[in-house]
Amino acid sequence: MSVEQIITEKLTAALSPSHLEVINESHNHHVPPNSEIHFKVIITCGAFEGKRLLARHRAVNEALETEFANGLHALSMHTFTPTEWAEECDVPASPKCKG
């Protein structure tokens, strides 16, 4: 199973998101081909209601604790409540970091 699939399954199980995108961005970095160590997550979840950004990110990090311990290097997180997602679903593009 790919790291992308594992991340999707774990976030779905832990947070029951109404919207979830897991994007492998490793190709934008100076890593070997087919790497799975840099990801972007866009997640909309009712559990984020009333929580600050730090608490939302902690919830995602806790769900993916094992993946970070096993080589997940970077995770760009864009966390929204359903209301926020409906109002402002613009997610910034990731920079090209290859160097």
- Rounded Cα distance between 84 and 48, Å, is 10
Q: What is the pTM of this model?
A: 0.85
pLDDT in tens, 34-72: 667 778 999 999 999 999 999 999 999 999 999 999 988
* Cα torsion 27, 33, 37, 42: sign: positive
Domains of the chain, residue spans: 3-87
Q: Is 99's pLDDT higher than 60? A: no
User: From 3.30.300.90, 3.30.565.10, 3.90.1420.10, 3.40.50.720, which CATH number describes the 3-87 domain?
Assistant: 3.30.300.90
pLDDT score, position 94: 65
